[in-house]
Chain A
Amino acid sequence: MPNDQTTIDPAEIEKFQAMAAEWWDPNGKFKPLHMLNPCRLDYITGQIASEFERDLAAERPFEGLRLLDIGCGGGLLAEPMTRLGAEVVGADAAERNIPVARLHAEEQGLGIDYRHTTAEALAADGEVFDVVLNMEVVEHVSDPQAYLKACHDLLKPGGLMVCSTLNRNPKSYLFAIIGAEHVMRWLPKGTHEWKKFITPDELFDLLRNAGLDPVDKKGMVFNPVTWSWGLSVRDLSVNYVTASIRPGAET
């Protein structure tokens, strides 16, 4: 990848620094994502560890794994995955996120390959990965089936995709749209279109049609007492996360 860091003018860098600070401020605009992050990371690290037989207590347990983070934003997942030893490509369709994420990773001393591109474009280039992270993206795309097919193509046989999204039911309307956008103002109004939310059954059908084997699903539930998110086996009513495997690994 050509590094275009040096061709950016200083005024732009200042702007990106401000945006990076915004992305990474635990009490700022992306606070809801920071609050959700430990829960997402618990699921992701647990799934990768069990699929690839890695010991999370080991130093750099994900060494040797190539990982794609789709919709990487400021790098909230890409950075932890890099610290754990994975070789990470962060992709975002929003061009402005890329220099912001790059700048922050550089500050942290982390080498991450951030690209302004899409899953479809990466698949067309023939890129392949051991792990694809597909977190809170599928409810924003126009053609989920075509998008998930591209994600399938990005996986090596035996590769793992972790995909999270929002369920579609009256409760998720109340919590994710009315609660998060209008009452708590955790998210800007219009962040989500409820009609594009996907039920777990629909998602599993889409994953299967894309050629993937869904192997796990868990709810991500906010606990107002501890003011933190946790994984739930039973409650997938609003936020949920799934794991699926591209079949065909030699065993």
Chain B
Amino acid sequence: MTSDTDVLIAGGGLNGAALALALASGGLSVTVVDPAPVKVRKRAGFDGRSYALALASKRVLAALGLWEALKADAQPMLEIKVSDGRAGEGASPFVLEFDHAELDEGPMGYMVEDRHLRPALLAALEKSDGITRVDGLSVTDHSAGAAGVEVTLSNAQTLTAACLVAADGRESPTRSRTGIGRVAWGYGQTALVCAIGHTRDHGGIAHQFFMPAGPLAVLPLKGRRSSIVWTERAGRAEEINALDDTGYLDVLRPRFGSFLGDIDLAGARFTYPLGLSLAHAFVADRVALLGDAAHAVHPIAGQGLNAGLRDVAALAEVLVEAHRRGEDIGRRDVLERYQLWRRFDATALAVATDGFNRLFSNDNSILRLGRDLGLGLVGAAPALRRGFMREAAGLTGALPRLAEGRPL
């Protein structure tokens, strides 16, 4: 091959880094172009950001050799309680409980903090022989040709690769340059994200309350801490976020009651405007879209990173297999195998989370009764409940090898 590198990844976030590791483990040469200077990526303090890793995602990280470094700081999610609520009223009597005892594979997932996951990925990238890192520069242009893709960086340097992967986020400049359109809409909702400390044990239980303004998730972190993802109508969220910590906690406290005892803030506060974005295609000649660049969903069930890691596992398997056959890995028919594998799943997730959000984020009394009955019905039918759990744990569909915890 005459290219500088087999695969060039635009974007060194979690998905981009995980893909680099997966491809390198399969014998491909990889270059990661990351606009963020390495120091920014490396800061180690707890900033309140954490991820609800589905079981399949945990297996991907384990197959990439990262789980050993993460597991001591990862909080298993033993149970998920879903209930319908209204601020100040507490949960409705219809509660849906997902207990990991119903799932043969163990805990339904793990809460992992950004301050642990990101450094683990960066350390592994640095150790890997097959990976070249270009930090502090971005991809500004690319041109796909018969033998490869020529990529221009922000310092005017050019690199050639067989395949360019866009891991450059929801607003992916690579996707725009490629001419792939997308459907996108906002929800007029904003997620307020923070971590809290509390005086009672969470017992490894995750809670999801469906409030009229949007869902509120309470996800257990190590120790007596939890991550809060709290959705409000956009204007209201701005008002709440403008409050000082005391005022912020005063608004938060009554939303989930007192089951965790006294609470205080245990890290910075973040806001994320919610919206759905789905690319019309996931691949083009010599280009593949990964994670949010392909599909960004409402984070109602914490499925953003999980969907991204599924992309990572599927794309890595397609490219490594093609490479071992001697195929030209940037050819469209090779990349279309990845699209065929992932597009249905990602679209279904987008539609499902969108529908879920529309169903739950309102105070219509008929809908409320309907969804309470629905939750009760799902709760009463073990087979249906297990189906939901396996879906949430990422254990449905044709699994890529990495998502089964197997090497490539």
Interface residues of A (CB under 8 A from B): 26-27, 34, 37-38, 41-42, 45, 56-59, 79-84, 107-109, 226-228
Provide a sorted-by-A list of 18 A–B residue pairs whose CB atoms are within 8 angstroms: A27-B333, A38-B321, A41-B325, A42-B325, A45-B325, A45-B326, A56-B324, A57-B27, A79-B326, A80-B325, A80-B327, A83-B326, A83-B328, A107-B147, A108-B147, A109-B147, A226-B340, A228-B337
The number of chain B residues touching the other chain, given as a range, is 10 to 19
Q: Is B331 an interface residue (CB 8 A)?
A: yes
The answer on a CB contact under 8 Å between B331 and A26 is yes
Contacts of B325 in A (CB 8 A): 38, 41-42, 45, 80
Which residue, of A45, A82, A83, has the highest number of chain B Cβ atoms within 10 A? A83
Q: Is B26 an interface residue (CB 8 A)?
A: yes
Contacts of A109 in B (CB 8 A): 1-2, 147
Contacts of B333 in A (CB 8 A): 26-27, 34
CA distance A107 to B146 in the complex (A): 7
Contacts of A45 in B (CB 8 A): 324-326
CA distance A226 to B324 in the complex (A): 21
CA distance A245 to B215 in the complex (A): 65
Nearest A-chain residue to B26, judged by Cβ: A57
Q: Which residues of B171-203 are within 8 A (CB) of A?
A: none
Which 4 pairs, one residue from A and one from B, show the smallest C-beta to C-beta distance?
A80-B326, A26-B333, A109-B2, A41-B325
| B324 CB contact (under 8 Å) in A57, A81, A82, A107 | A57
Contacts of B336 in A (CB 8 A): 26
Nearest A-chain residue to B398, judged by Cβ: A226
Nearest A-chain residue to B27, judged by Cβ: A57
Which residue, of A26, A59, A82, has the highest number of chain B Cβ atoms within 10 A? A26
CA distance A57 to B27 in the complex (A): 6
Contacts of B331 in A (CB 8 A): 26
Nearest B-chain residue to A20, judged by Cβ: B146
Contacts of B322 in A (CB 8 A): 38
Contacts of B327 in A (CB 8 A): 37-38, 41, 80, 83
Q: Contacts A57-B26, A57-B27 known; A41 to B332 CB distance under 8 Å?
A: no
Contacts of A37 in B (CB 8 A): 327
Q: Which residues of B317-361 are within 8 A (CB) of A?
A: 321-322, 324-328, 331-333, 336-337, 340
CA distance A228 to B334 in the complex (A): 12
| A83 CB contact (under 8 Å) in B1, B146, B340 | B1
Q: Contacts A26-B331, A26-B332, A34-B333 known; A84 to B326 CB distance under 8 Å?
A: yes
Contacts of A34 in B (CB 8 A): 333
CA distance A57 to B336 in the complex (A): 23
Q: Contacts A26-B332, A107-B147, A109-B2 known; A81 to B27 CB distance under 8 Å?
A: no
CA distance A199 to B153 in the complex (A): 57
* Given A38-B322, A108-B146, 7 further pairs, Cβ under 8 A: A26-B336, A41-B325, A45-B324, A45-B325, A56-B324, A83-B1, A109-B2
CA distance A116 to B24 in the complex (A): 40
Nearest B-chain residue to A34, judged by Cβ: B333
- Distance between B264 CB and nearest chain A CB, rounded to angstroms: 51
CA distance A122 to B397 in the complex (A): 50
